[in-house]
Structure 1
Amino acid sequence: MLKVVGASWQKTRIGTYILIGAGLLVVAAFFVAGMDRPEYDGTYCATAFWTEKVGLQIEYWKQQNDLVNIPKGAARICYKDSIYQNGWAQLEIETQRSYPDWVQALGAGMLEGSLTWNNIYNQWLNTIGSACDKDENAQNFCTWLRDTISANYFATKQRALARADHDQYWHQIALYFFQLEGLEAGFKRGASRSRSDVEEEIPFVDFLLMNSAADIQDLKIYYENYVLKEGNGGQSEKNFFLPSATMFTKIFQSEANSGWQLLFGHSSAGSYSSMLRIQKRYKFRYHFSPDQRSNTVPGVDISFTGYPGILGSTDDFYIVKGRQVQSIVAGVAIKNENLDLWKNVPVTEAIPLTARVMAANRISQSRRTWARAMSRHPFTGNKQWVSVDLKKLNALEGSQHSNGGEVENEIDIPTKSEVSADGLIWVVEQLPGLLHVKDVSNSFLNGNTTWVANGVPYFDEILEASRVPAENFSMDLPDGDELNTLESVEKYLRLNGFRGDLLGDESVPYGNIDIKLFSFNAKRGLSDYHAFAGPIFMRFHHNQNEDTLTSESHVVVDLATELEVITERRPVRNDMRAIAMRRGSGPFKWSTVVERIPGAEHEGHPDEWDFDHVSPKWAW
């Protein structure tokens, strides 16, 4: 046809090529449509590259399945927001030791801020933003708090930079602030990149506030009693009487020659508004000093349960690993009625608890050195810590573990009366201006091998100083033989849980908001860890009716038996005025409590918190 209308042979050939190309594209389209497309699980990754000439640049890799081969750069991150699926987001960051430590810290912060910016904003809105605008008193307190923490930040960072060359602890404090500054920069970058118009900007001082969550309650007590000078003469009932976190530790030699085992449980207590949760893993290859020729710190690999925008676990739960260390570090808030302790505390010199703990986690090879690091600046953040050295637990087996497997020594495993494991377990307790530390390994192993901590001081010296009536916070402990599995520890923590939304007309949006469970078998060198998110509730056991065991077995829920057990082991305590685990409590749902607890912000939260446990699978 082209020839008929007078087209040249060259034009005819071009037209033919176009038709052939179009036909090939159609065939290719059918072929591509028939191919299997990759399925992604919502994991997003990015890399921070750095050169002295250009500085830090971030490359985003969108959704990824092959996490192992994400380019390393100075720092790399993979992040998955699965809060609506299982109650947790998951974040993993790795840095490389060939880069200056400040580059690693700044790059890690920028990556985290840019990928988690939306949850950071929601967390700030639900906590700092809403709390500081609640009323005039709250506004006045937040104004004083922001001024105090800002001044503290500038002074502390300058001290850290000045001493970093000669003091490994201060070097880590400086890196904490570099990471925090990177987090704010990354947040702004992420919001801008997503073309999202956030209703309010988050000032840098509020990033400082979010990372001082463990200190703010103490600072509020100081403010009300020593700044306003018209305090009520004691902590309010709400601050003091609401239960703290619960921590369960048991080390025992199991029967059937299974070796020495650790069972550990932890249930955080906090505001329901704070329940945007992240499982984090920081694999930071920092050095002992700014000099890159110095050794890498022992605690390179730190996993913890945390929150958006916060660089440590304000839950106070850490798993710390490295070439020279393998440990569990966890804590609960200590109750304190002695306001006189604040008289000699230099609040303006306080270092945020999160920074202190992360520094101790990184530079400490033993539990003794961890306790020594924590003894510096014990001002705010009243806590009771337990730190367990899993390598010492390995030593009890009389065996040696290596990458090539397990080598048995020809010695008998010591009996309970013969156990000596100095350095296995250290307890650290802090009140304003006071700190007491002790290696409790031998007394623990050769005495009562089960310990439950719920905010009452362990040491007599700290208990006396706190003026806490310990009998008001006792918890019944079942026979030791009943708590030999993670399932039994989980049930125990649930039985002793607190749900502030179940207090009827006096309901408060506060309670135990998670459960973390960890076990370690020293003989096999195996560990198990999983965590539940959300206010805890009783998961009643189901018993099958033996008379109706068919393909569709009839299931009977033995509620009466379960409730009887609860009543026996958890009497109503005077300070709580309710058992908080009443019949039919079930999973927490925001939609059923908003009328009873108005004003509790929960932007970005799922409505119902009925999730199974999560065990993170890390790529690096």
Structure 2
Amino acid sequence: WSQLSVRTNPKYPDLMQAYAAGYIEGIGTKSLIADNWFNTVEGMWDMCTGKTKFCANLKKFLEANLAYMMRMIKDNNDSQYWKQIELNLMQLQGMEDAYYGKVMNLTSNLHLKPFGLTLLNINGDIETLEDVLDDTDHINHDSDHMIGSGSCSALIKLLGNSELLAAHSTWSGYNTMLRIIKKYELNYRDIKGELIPGHTSSFSSYPGQIFSGDDFYILSSGLTTIETTISNSNQKLWKYVKSDTVLEWLRNLAANQMARSGVEWSSIFALHNSGTYNNQKVVDYNKFTPGIEPQPGLLYVLEQLPGLIVYKDVTNVLKRQTYWASYNSPYYPKVFNASGLPALVKKYGPWFTHDRTPRALIFARNHSSVTDIHKMLKLMRYNNFQHDPLSSCNCTPPYSGENAIAARSDLNLAQGEYPLPALSQRNHGATDVKITSSSLHRNYEMIAECGPTHDQQPVFKWSTSPYFNLPHRGMPDSFDFQPIHVKWD
């Protein structure tokens, strides 16, 4: 992990603070941004020069989306929501100007390039946009983007009334493992002149991004927000993905900055639903005091699809089970049924269910082993797929490295036979873990480990990986890292 801390001066207007925060990060991490761009955009993905139908459609969509947001910002200058959208776009503008070598301009207007650093910040949204904007001629299709591909594991664990742990493991391509843990202290004021609730955030991230992307945030409001993605297989819902909405990464940031509770966060995030990069959950550490029974509102779970958002207080479920696990399968029946998953269950079996998919069964079996933060770390890095019966599948050999809390799909056999491409050998796995607690949260601290799990499996090395030829500029050869305790001055 690299670490970055940015703090703005509250004496200056908010837009100047935002631009300066982005600019100084762009200057300080320019070489890392270049490496991340090469590894994830230039090296892995067609550069969208207009030669393909998808690229042309994407550029048109992003230009229309930016124009829509600019219009809404102008027409709603008394709206706190649109003020936060403008501030986040201005922060990205500052970073983009710095990266492309422009002179710092604290009074700059927004002039973001649709195919500039915006591409790094829509890395989650673009998975949905690929489906919507006709990707039939897109040559370099990402291996993460397929039916059944997992995208993150998360666990909320209640240790009696003594502690509450929140953990997240990102699943992605190994070419994305150039990482930064960031802390932003952005001293913005609301329209009443008061400091916004989520002025400070600590989060796992990437070069060139002003949001997490994983997502994992520890906020000054007392909230921790965590995301695991759910996919949509219902083609009828794509009509709700339109340019006159706000993409997930921006709605996420606005909710983080404005909300004081789980229900507030959910209601703000639900505004202007883009239907892209779907799912989210919120832990409110304000509702937890060690030694006292958790209060209602401690855990809100929101699930999103195009045209549909459902959120509820599930604190009672957490108290009854003592854990809440998330693994890319919708919890709410309305969302599950609308997503098209019932048809996949009928075709492929319980792997696509909410409660009988491998990770659901492993979490249900193993969560009771978590008695402290170190045991939580072990569970979130768990992958014993060659020997764990819950990792089995109708495959040859009869198991898959995808069927674990921390996937290692690179270890599947290239010549194996699998009923789903998602279960086969591919550039995909758990690339980190982050954990916080009620005590760590107060100081924006976390325990974090970078790279694919190597507890029960071999250390990932580019030089011996079947994907050694993929772009990985700026990365070490061996990801033999141990957990670190992230602290801030």
Instruction: Give the TM-score category using the shorter length.
Output: 0.7 to 0.9
Amino acid at match of 2:82: W
Could you say what secondary structure the match of 1:508 adopts? coil
Hey, what does 2:60 align to over in structure 1? 147
Hey, what does 1:318 align to over in structure 2? 217
Amino acid at match of 1:245: C
Percent identity over the alignment is 29
> For each residue in 1:175-226, what CA deviation from the matched residue of structure 2 results, as whole angstroms up to 9, or x when unmatched?
111111101111133999xxxxxxxxx966231111111100000011238x
Work out which of the residue numbers 405, 412, 418 in structure 2 matches 1:503: 412
**1:151-550 to 2 correspondences below 5 Å:** 151-163=64-76, 165-189=77-101, 205-224=115-134, 239-253=146-160, 259-289=161-191, 294-321=193-220, 325-343=221-239, 345-394=240-289, 397=291, 413=292, 419=293, 421-445=295-319, 447-468=320-341, 469=345, 470=353, 471-473=356-358, 474-476=360-362, 477-478=364-365, 480-495=367-382, 496-505=405-414, 507-521=425-439, 529-538=446-455
| 1:300 Cα deviation after fit | 1.0
Amino acid at match of 2:449: F
Whether contact under 8 Å (2:288, 2:438) holds in the other structure is: no
Distance 1:146 1:526, change over 3 A: closer
Distance 1:142 1:480, change over 3 A: same
Could you say what secondary structure the match of 1:455 adopts? coil
Could you say what secondary structure the match of 1:347 adopts? coil
| 1:379 Cα deviation after fit | 2.0
Could you say what secondary structure the match of 2:67 adopts? helix
2-structure distance, mates of 1:605, 1:236 = 20
> For each residue in 1:235-262, what CA deviation from the matched residue of structure 2 results, as whole angstroms up to 9, or x when unmatched?
9995122222000111232xxxxx5311
| 1:488 Cα deviation after fit | 1.7
- Once superposed, what is the RMSD of the aligned Cα atoms? 2.8
Amino acid at match of 2:152: A
> For each residue in 1:454-499, what CA deviation from the matched residue of structure 2 results, as whole angstroms up to 9, or x when unmatched?
0011111111111323144543223554111122222222222211
Whether contact under 8 Å (2:280, 2:302) holds in the other structure is: yes
1-structure distance, mates of 2:331, 2:41 = 32
Could you say what secondary structure the match of 1:435 adopts? strand
Amino acid at match of 1:423: G
Residue 103 in structure 1 maps to residue 16 in structure 2: yes
Could you say what secondary structure the match of 1:131 adopts? coil
Whether contact under 8 Å (2:127, 2:277) holds in the other structure is: no
| 1:517 Cα deviation after fit | 1.7
Amino acid at match of 1:145: L
Amino acid at match of 2:258: I
Whether contact under 8 Å (1:244, 1:455) holds in the other structure is: yes
Amino acid at match of 1:326: G
Hey, what does 1:567 align to over in structure 2? none
Could you say what secondary structure the match of 1:475 adopts? helix
> For each residue in 1:573-604, what CA deviation from the matched residue of structure 2 results, as whole angstroms up to 9, or x when unmatched?
xxxxxxxxxxxx411111112xx336521111
Amino acid at match of 2:211: G
1-structure distance, mates of 2:46, 2:144 = 22
| 1:157 Cα deviation after fit | 2.3
Work out which of the residue numbers 463, 478, 487 in structure 2 matches 1:591: 463
Could you say what secondary structure the match of 2:483 adopts? coil
1-structure distance, mates of 2:144, 2:472 = 25
Could you say what secondary structure the match of 2:304 adopts? strand
Whether contact under 8 Å (2:216, 2:226) holds in the other structure is: yes
1-structure distance, mates of 2:144, 2:437 = 36
> For each residue in 1:309-339, what CA deviation from the matched residue of structure 2 results, as whole angstroms up to 9, or x when unmatched?
0110100100001xxx212110100132212
Amino acid at match of 1:244: S
Amino acid at match of 2:6: I
1-structure distance, mates of 2:190, 2:307 = 27
1-structure distance, mates of 2:145, 2:313 = 34
| 1:376 Cα deviation after fit | 0.7
Distance 1:185 1:420, change over 3 A: closer
Amino acid at match of 1:454: Y
**1:84-95 to 2 correspondences below 5 Å:** 88-95=1-8
Distance 1:517 1:260, change over 3 A: same
Q: Which runs of 5+ in 2 are unaligned?
A: 105-111, 346-352, 383-404, 415-423
Q: Which runs of 5+ in 1 are unaligned?
A: 1-87, 193-201, 254-258, 398-412, 414-418, 540-584
Work out which of the residue numbers 449, 452, 474 in structure 2 matches 1:604: 474
What is the TM-score normalised by the length of structure 1?
Answer: 0.65
Could you say what secondary structure the match of 1:478 adopts? helix
Whether contact under 8 Å (2:150, 2:171) holds in the other structure is: yes
Could you say what secondary structure the match of 1:126 adopts? helix
> For each residue in 1:245-303, what CA deviation from the matched residue of structure 2 results, as whole angstroms up to 9, or x when unmatched?
000111232xxxxx5311222100111111110000010011113xxx62110111111
Greater relative contact order (Cα < 8 A, sep 6+): 2
Could you say what secondary structure the match of 1:276 adopts? coil
Could you say what secondary structure the match of 2:87 adopts? helix
Amino acid at match of 1:218: T
1-structure distance, mates of 2:426, 2:316 = 41
1-structure distance, mates of 2:144, 2:120 = 24
Whether contact under 8 Å (1:114, 1:188) holds in the other structure is: no
| 1:346 Cα deviation after fit | 4.2
Distance 1:106 1:236, change over 3 A: closer
Amino acid at match of 1:340: K
Could you say what secondary structure the match of 2:254 adopts? helix
Hey, what does 1:33 align to over in structure 2? none
Larger radius of gyration: 1
| 1:132 Cα deviation after fit | 3.4
Distance 1:135 1:440, change over 3 A: closer
Distance 1:312 1:448, change over 3 A: same
**Bigger shift: 266-275 or 137-146?**
137-146
1-structure distance, mates of 2:33, 2:377 = 30
Q: Larger strand proportion, structure 1 or 2?
A: 1
> For each residue in 1:546-583, what CA deviation from the matched residue of structure 2 results, as whole angstroms up to 9, or x when unmatched?
xxxxxxxxxxxxxxxxxxxxxxxxxxxxxxxxxxxxxx
**Bigger shift: 301-310 or 327-336?**
327-336
Whether contact under 8 Å (2:303, 2:311) holds in the other structure is: yes
Amino acid at match of 1:500: S
What is the TM-score normalised by the length of structure 2?
Answer: 0.82
| 1:130 Cα deviation after fit | 2.3
Amino acid at match of 2:116: D
**1:39-54 to 2 correspondences below 5 Å:** none
Could you say what secondary structure the match of 1:437 adopts? strand
2-structure distance, mates of 1:252, 1:526 = 20
2-structure distance, mates of 1:612, 1:138 = 44
